[in-house]
Amino acid sequence: MRAVRLHEVNGPQALRVDEVDRPHPAAGEVLVRLRAGALNHRDLFITRGLYPNIALPASLGSDGAGEVAECGAQVTSVRAGDAVVIDPMLGWGDDPRVWSAKASILGMPHPGTLADYIVVPAGNVYPKPAHLAFEAAAALPLGGLTAYRALVTRGAVARGETVLLTGAGGGVQTFALLFAKALGARVIATTGGAQKCARALALGADVAIDYRADAQWAKSARAAAPEGIALAVDSVGGETFAKMLTAVRPGGRVVTYGGTSGDATLKMFPIFWNHLTICGTSMGSPADFAGMLALVSGERLEPIVDRVFALEEIVAAAQRLERGEQFGKVVVSIA
């Protein structure tokens, strides 16, 4: 079978499609014939050596959807031919508040979803939302799970609240925008460029701010919410995170799930004086994944797919993501 693998840490251009042996499911596992996968910044970080414990060659990809091809012994929850989407979080553990120290994610060290086939525990496959094509369903797992936990489980978003989403052109934040609107929140989105602002508004954002053109975007966001910003969700980190703390109202909540622009230098006064709650989060539990799929299915939400590449175009797909040209998820079709 084909699989996207990394043999050296040298950026996305080092990715290649190899021929490898097809795996076989053990007891409690299923073999999934993948029809589509999707890229995440995690994949880029691995190609740049910015992820811990990289073992080469690494088989990348955390997002995937396809059909069950074979079931191992003792599997009764699914059967061959079922259309499924894969939860990439392995071994979360028993505590819904935080993952186990033994938890891991598909796509290094475990074989990833950018391949013809993958073996996963039977508990990690869920029925594909019936209204979604495989390419759209493959965009869901890591991004949708992360956004749902950040917004719902950790952020406790409530109907009628105003939510600030920074970097709203990214894959996770487009999910956060869709989910927030579906749950009845008002959304202020920041993103880079007039075109991305227009797309955020088309997706339902009530206000879109171009942070490249507005150096005072945090002040502008605060002015756009006379009732106050109750919740802010960020993955950018750096000075974006620092400024975001000044945008939320007293008693507000701030959730972070990443730091793509590095560490932040924080002023303590707005944190303690305004009684802010700052929450960290990453990925999500099986309950979060099930809740995310229920929301997507119940509201018939459509993931935002930026562009679909063929498996053999993996380098071009990864480079598009690294350049930040995407709006939504970069998807890989696996014919």
Q: In CATH, which superfamily holds the domain spanning 145-280?
A: NAD(P)-binding Rossmann-like Domain (3.40.50.720)
Note the pLDDT tens digit of each residue in 43-56.
999 999 988 889 99
DSSP letter string over 123-151? GGEEEPPTTS-HHHHHTSHHHHHHHHIII
287 contact partners, CB below 8 Å, separation of at least 6? 96
Whether 2-140+303-333 and 145-280 share one fold: the answer is no
**CA distances for 94 relative to 73, 103, 104, 155, 328, angstroms:** 24, 11, 14, 21, 32
Residue 324 confidence (pLDDT): 87
124 contact partners, CB below 8 Å, separation of at least 6? 86, 87, 88, 89, 90
Residue 228 confidence (pLDDT): 97
Structure tokens given for 278: 């700052």
Note the pTM of the prediction, 2 decimals.
Answer: 0.94
Structure tokens given for 24: 């076989």
Structure tokens given for 268: 């303590």
298 contact partners, CB below 8 Å, separation of at least 6? none
Residue 162 confidence (pLDDT): 98
| Residue 236 and residue 256 in contact, taking contact as beta carbons nearer than 8 Å | no
3-state class (DSSP) for residue 182 = helix
Residue 141 confidence (pLDDT): 97
Note the pLDDT tens digit of each residue in 266-284.
999 989 999 999 999 999 9
| Residue 208 and residue 200 in contact, taking contact as beta carbons nearer than 8 Å | yes
Q: In CATH, which superfamily holds the domain spanning 2-140+303-333?
A: Medium-chain alcohol dehydrogenases, catalytic domain (3.90.180.10)
Residue 260 confidence (pLDDT): 82
Structural domain boundaries of the chain?
A: 2-140+303-333, 145-280
Half-sphere exposure of 319 (CA within 13 A, CB side): 8
Enumerate residue ranges in the chain where pLDDT < 50: none
Rounded distance between C-alpha atoms, residue 41 and residue 56, angstroms: 18
